Amino acid sequence: MAWFDKQIFQKGITSLFGGLDLGSVGTSAAVTLEINVTTGSDTTGNGTLSTPYKTIGKALSVAPFLAAHAIQINLAAGIYPELLNVTHVLASTGKVTITGAFQAFTPATGPASGTFDGSFAEPLANTAKLTGATWTVNNLKGKFLQITSGSLNGRYIPIGANAADTLDISAAANTGTYNLQGVSFNIVEQSVTLARDSVGGQTQAIMWVSNNPTDFTAANGVTLENVKVDLTGLTNSGIRVQQGVFHLRQCMTFTGSGAPTALFPTGRHTRVTITDSYVSSGAGAFVISAASCSQVTLDGLIVDGGAVGLSATTNCTVTTSTGQALIQNCTTAGMSFTQSYMTGGRAVIRSCVIGMRVFGQCRITPSNLVVQNNTAAGVHLLTGGGTGDNGSTVSTTGWSITGNTTAGIALDSSHNWIHLSTTTVSTNGTFGVQASNLKGGGFNQVSTTSATIMASNTSGDFSIDGTAAISLAALRADGDKDMLDPVRLNRLFEF
């Protein structure tokens, strides 16, 4: 029997609901519904382009509940103040997609289009340069590049910050898939905004997703794309994913007041992919908060502001993909992990207080992270109560940990393993790696390889007792390349 047998499934649901015939609510073909908040009507409309509905809620209510095909909901320009509940049951070929649109953006100064000239500053910081542009600083933050040539033609890439002639984007602008040298672009923004229903007193969320998929494939699930999400006035979360597959694609979230979580995936059967999106919230918020075994994939993400940019707790997995991530300006930590995992490729965490904090029993193994210019430690391993065991592993293959105000990596807990492989740790304000003599910080292992580079850390390369410095050169000159603090049993060695 196929994983999704529509007849058997409908009979089960029919039995559950007392004999109701649900045959008419399953899809027999793809469905497209048109919505226009300005000209549409939920009374006289029929969801066509010429006679659209007025609200997204109306479209969701008339769309078949059992979807074995694509349900496409297209939004005309405007502001949609609604609470959306997406609870459809989806077969392996079933999906619900809610699509907005983009419009041209006119910068305060400087060009609205151009061709990147191949001159790139700080490639590790994900920047693209247009020589001679005269943009107003950060006027383009939260806007998008519409790529109009090259292999990325048709893709929309978020802008995290800008100088007069330089854009900070969500991926390395001069390498690999995102090579923008010689690529043409327009600067655009979304013309569709989802907002809370203030008249109805809505405060908890703008969108609830529980889509009950019969399998978890990239093509399955619910997609929200090409829209802004205004979190203003919410007290909990903007988008809450209770179960199923959810894709946030080419979207932007913001708030005028309050500090709700922008995106809250929770639950063992929850998988979220964020692609080419700019996500922000108020100063006190967890911008993205993943909990309870959910899985989150980052494929072109900018997180800007909030207390914690991305939090993962209780057996969650965070993976960075081709599009990568830029997390910045968070007032507590750029990323925070508790009993969770991080894998995949590249991300940049910068200008936060702590770059990445790691509580107990985590495994952090992505490659090519940049952790730079944070106002405390770049990476901080600690425990929830401030003392005792942590038991985490952090492997830093290809990482660059530079310019952080205190230690590059700080260990204020015990039973951790830090492995520096092809890693650069430099110009940090205290030690490159510091196993503290405070808060029970013992039984830690710090290992290096011949490709590790330590340079210009103010207090020294390593400390395994919290205060005394050990240089990388001294470690390599030691006959065993193995050093131990006999009091705390912190160990430093090179493979």
Query: For the chain, what is the HEC assignment?
Result: CCCCCHHHHHHHHHHHCCCCCCHHHECCCCEEEEECCCCCCCCCCCCCCCCCECCHHHHHHHCCCEECCEEEEEECCEEEECCEEECCEECCCCEEEEECCEEECCCCCCCCEEECCCCCCCHHHCEEECCCCCCCCCCCCCCEEEECCCCCCCCEEEEEEECCCEEEECCCCCCHHHCCCCCEEEEEEECEEEECCCCCCCCCCCEEEECCECCCCCCCEEEEECCEEECCCCCCEEEEEEEEEEEEECCEEECCCCCCEEEEEECCCEEEEEEEEEEECCCCCEEEEEECCCEEEEEEEEEECCCEEEEEECCCEEEEEEEEEEEECCCCEEEEEECCEEEECCEEEECCCEEEEECCCCEECCCCEEEECCCCCCEEECCCCCCCECCCEEECCCCEEECCCCCCEEECCECCEEEECCCEEECCCCEEEEECCCCCCCCCEEEECCCCEEECCCCEEEECCCCCCECHHHHHHCCCCEEECCCCCCEEEEC
Q: Which residues contact 185 (CB under 8 A, 6 or more apart)?
A: 113, 114, 115, 116, 145, 146, 147, 148
Ordered per-residue pLDDT tens for the chain, 495 residues: 233 333 434 434 433 333 333 334 578 899 999 999 999 999 999 999 999 999 999 999 999 988 889 999 999 999 999 999 998 888 878 899 999 999 999 999 999 999 998 655 444 457 888 999 999 999 999 999 999 998 889 999 999 999 999 998 886 555 556 678 788 999 999 999 999 988 877 888 899 998 766 566 656 899 999 999 999 988 888 999 988 899 999 999 998 777 789 999 987 779 999 999 999 988 777 999 999 889 999 999 999 999 999 999 999 999 998 778 999 999 999 999 999 999 998 889 999 999 999 998 899 999 989 999 999 999 999 875 444 577 899 999 999 999 999 999 999 888 899 999 999 999 999 999 998 754 455 788 999 999 999 999 999 999 998 889 999 999 999 988 999 988 888 999 998
Cβ burial of 399 (10 Å; 0-12, 13-18, 19+) is: buried
Cβ burial of 258 (10 Å; 0-12, 13-18, 19+) is: middle
Q: pLDDT, tens digit, for every residue of 329-349?
A: 999 999 999 999 999 988 899
Q: pLDDT, tens digit, for every residue of 247-260?
A: 999 999 998 777 78
Distance between CA atoms of residues 392 and 235, nearest Å: 33
Compute, in degrees rounded to 10, the torsion defined by CA atoms 31, 37, 38, 42: 70
Give me the count of residues in the chain: 495
